[in-house]
Structure 1
Amino acid sequence: MGLSRRFQNLVVDTPHMAQLFGNTAARTPSTIGDGSDSAQVQHHSTSQTWAAGSSNPKKNAQAAAADFKMERIRLPRPISRFHADPNEPGRIDCFPFADRKTMWADHLGRPFVFDAEARQLDIMPCLHNPKSMPLSLFVPNPDVDNDFCNCGLGSTLFVMERIPKLEMNCTTRLSGQFEALVYCNPTVRTPFSKLWEWRLLPPPPYVRESKHWHGSTQPEISSYALLHVAGDPHICISVKSVGTYCLDTVTHAWTKVGNWTLPFHGKVEYVPEIKLWFGFTADAQHLAAADLSAMDMDSQPQLVTAPWKELVNLPEEWKECKESQLVNLGSGRFCVTRFFHRLNGGDSGGQNHKNVAVFTGVEVVPCVHGANEGSGKVQLQMILHKSLCHNSNFTTIDAVL
C-alpha cells in the first residue's frame, strides 16, 4: 500500500471509508489541508427515489448534488510497501481474499496473502500461468473449510484473464488463462490436512471458437458477477460481441446463458437485503441496479432503476482518466471511486497534471410509498452521503478494495 510514484498503489480499509457515512447533520464548515491547499467542507446528505419502469430523469439528483462540496483528505501513512523486483520490471496485481485479506501476485505469477490487521504475510503456491490483465472473484465456503473430514472444495479464489487469447487446436480440456485457488484436502492419504492449491479450469467455449476473433481484436470480459443457481454459486461473465456465460463453481462446467451481455461494466455487486445486483452501467458508467436471479437465453436483464450519477458540475479542467470502481461495504452501502486528471497551467504555458481521486458514500434503502404499495414496482431510495477528494502530483491510486 505504498505511495511511491513508481509502483501500483492500493487503498484498503482506510478510516476515510467510515467518514463517508459519518453524522450528516448540519455542522459548521471546516477546512482540512491536503498538503498544498485547503478546501471548505460541507456535511449533508441528499436522496433520490428510483422506481422500476419510471422515466424519472436525473435532474432531481443533479439539482440535489449541484451544491455538494468535497473535503480534501490526506491518506494515512502506508503500513506496508510492495513492489516488483527492480531487476524484473513489472506490476503487482491485487485481489480481495478471505477474511478481509488481500492476495498479491507479480507479473511472474508469484503470489502471497497479506493480512493488514495482523501485519502477516503468507507465501502461496505459484499460478500455473502469469496473468496479464486479471480479474477475480472470491467464493467463500466456510462449512467445508472448517470440516477437516470433508474432502470437497472449500473457499475458492477464481482468477481469469480479462482479455483471453484464442486457443484454437488446443488438445487439453483445461486452460492456463482460467485458474482457481482452492482450499481443500488434496489427497485422501493425508486426512485432517488442508491447504491452498491452484487448479486449472476449462475456458468458456468462445475462447476456442475462431468466429469471435476478427483481425487483431480479442473479445473482452466486460462485466462479471457472482450468482446462485439452484443454491450453487456460479460465476457469470459477459463478453463484448459474444454473449454471457456462467461457470458452475462446483462442477467447473460452463453454460452459455445468452447472446446478450449484462447491462453493466466491470464487477457487479449483490446486496442480499434488497435482492438486487448493483454496478456501473455499460454506457455511461452510472450506478444502477438489476435483477439477475432469473436470466434466460432470450431476454437480456433490464435495469430496474434509472441510472444515477453521484457527481455533477465538476470543474471543466477535471478529465476522467480511467475506469471508476465500486466497493460494496455491506448493508446497501457503497463507496464509488472516480479518477481524474486535473489540468493546471504551467509556468511556460504548458499543462501539468494533478491526479484526483474522489470517494463518494452512497447508501441504498428500500422506499415504500402508500400510493404505490402493491404496484409490483421496485422502489429504492438512493442516499448520497459525503464525497472526499484526494489530490496529488505524485500518487496514483490504482485500486480501492
Structure 2
Amino acid sequence: SVEDRGTFSFDTGRLTWTRHGSWLLPFHGEAYFVRELDAWVGLCSHQKGYIAVCNVISPDDGLCECPTWTTVKDRVYNNRWKRYLAASLTYMGDAEFCLLETITRKGYDIFTESRTRMLLRLATFRVERQHSGEVRAVDMRTMLYKCPHWEMECSRSPTAFWI
C-alpha cells in the first residue's frame, strides 16, 4: 500500500503490477503471509500496540473492496509509554512472531542526550484463531535486555531476521 496511491500487488511471473483500489492495508511497515491463518499479519496502523490480521486478496482480483481485517485481542506492546521509541515484527514461520521494541531507560531523555541508555524488549508469540473466531496472541514470552550506549539514530528501528 502506498499513501495517496492505494494498494497494489506484483506478479513475479508476469513482472506486472496490479492496482486493487485506493484503500490502504491496515499495517504499519511490513506484513507477512501466514499460511495457517490464510491471512496477512503485521503491526496495526490503526491501533498502535496491536497486531492486525487481514484477509488475503488474489492478485487476479484487480480493483476490489478493501479486504476485511481485525486486530488480535491482546496488546503486544505499549507505545503509550513516554519511554517508547520503536517496534518491529519478524515472522518466524508456523504463525510464530518475534517483536522487538526499544525503550529508553528511566531517567534518560532522547531529545536532550546524544547517547541514551536503551532497553530492548524481545517478545515471541504465536497468532492463532480461537474456536470463537477471535484472533489471539498466545504463548507470549518476553525478555528485557540492557543495551550499550547507542547513538539515537541506531536505536530508532530495532530489526531482527529469522533464518
TM-score range, shorter chain: 0.7 to 0.9
8 Å Cα contact 2:72/2:135 also seen in 1? no
What are the equivalent positions in structure 2 for 1:213-228 lying under 5 Å apart?
A: none
What are the equivalent positions in structure 2 for 1:1-400 lying under 5 Å apart?
A: 238-283=1-46, 284-294=48-58, 297-306=63-72, 308-312=74-78, 319-322=83-86, 324-344=87-107, 353-368=116-131, 378-395=133-150, 396=154, 398-400=158-160
Q: In angstroms, what is the RMSD of aligned CA positions? A: 2.8
Partner of 1:70: none
Provide, for residues 352-392 of structure 1, a one-character-per-residue CA deviation record: whole Å limited to 9, x for no partner. 721121111111233225xxxxxxxx333421421111212
8 Å Cα contact 1:281/1:307 also seen in 2? no
Tell which structure's C-alpha radius of gyration is larger.
1
Where structure 1 has 5 or more consecutive residues not aligned to the other structure, the ranges are: 1-237, 370-377
Where structure 2 has 5 or more consecutive residues not aligned to the other structure, the ranges are: none
**Alpha-carbon deviation of 1:270?**
1.2
- Distance in 1, matches of 2:12 and 2:108, equals 52
Amino acid at match of 1:272: R
Q: Are the structure 2 counterparts of residues 282 and 362 from structure 1 closer, same or farther at C-alpha, using a change threshold of 3 Å?
A: same
Partner of 1:121: none
Provide, for residues 37-63 of structure 1, a one-character-per-residue CA deviation record: whole Å limited to 9, x for no partner. xxxxxxxxxxxxxxxxxxxxxxxxxxx
- Distance in 1, matches of 2:144 and 2:97, equals 16
**Alpha-carbon deviation of 1:257?**
1.0
Amino acid at match of 1:299: E
Q: Are the structure 2 counterparts of residues 242 and 380 from structure 1 closer, same or farther at C-alpha, using a change threshold of 3 Å?
A: same
TM (normalized to structure 1)? 0.34
**Alpha-carbon deviation of 1:282?**
1.3
8 Å Cα contact 1:343/1:353 also seen in 2? no
Identity of aligned residues (%): 19
Provide, for residues 90-141 of structure 1, a one-character-per-residue CA deviation record: whole Å limited to 9, x for no partner. xxxxxxxxxxxxxxxxxxxxxxxxxxxxxxxxxxxxxxxxxxxxxxxxxxxx
Provide, for residues 321-353 of structure 1, a one-character-per-residue CA deviation record: whole Å limited to 9, x for no partner. 23x21111111111111122234269xxx8672
8 Å Cα contact 1:341/1:355 also seen in 2? yes
Provide, for residues 184-205 of structure 1, a one-character-per-residue CA deviation record: whole Å limited to 9, x for no partner. xxxxxxxxxxxxxxxxxxxxxx
8 Å Cα contact 1:327/1:400 also seen in 2? yes
Partner of 1:51: none
Provide, for residues 138-176 of structure 1, a one-character-per-residue CA deviation record: whole Å limited to 9, x for no partner. xxxxxxxxxxxxxxxxxxxxxxxxxxxxxxxxxxxxxxx
- Distance in 1, matches of 2:127 and 2:51, equals 11
- Distance in 1, matches of 2:83 and 2:108, equals 14
8 Å Cα contact 2:38/2:55 also seen in 1? yes
- Distance in 2, matches of 1:260 and 1:250, equals 25
- Distance in 2, matches of 1:386 and 1:265, equals 23
- Distance in 2, matches of 1:271 and 1:252, equals 23
- Distance in 2, matches of 1:380 and 1:260, equals 23
- How many residues are paired up? 150
Amino acid at match of 1:289: V
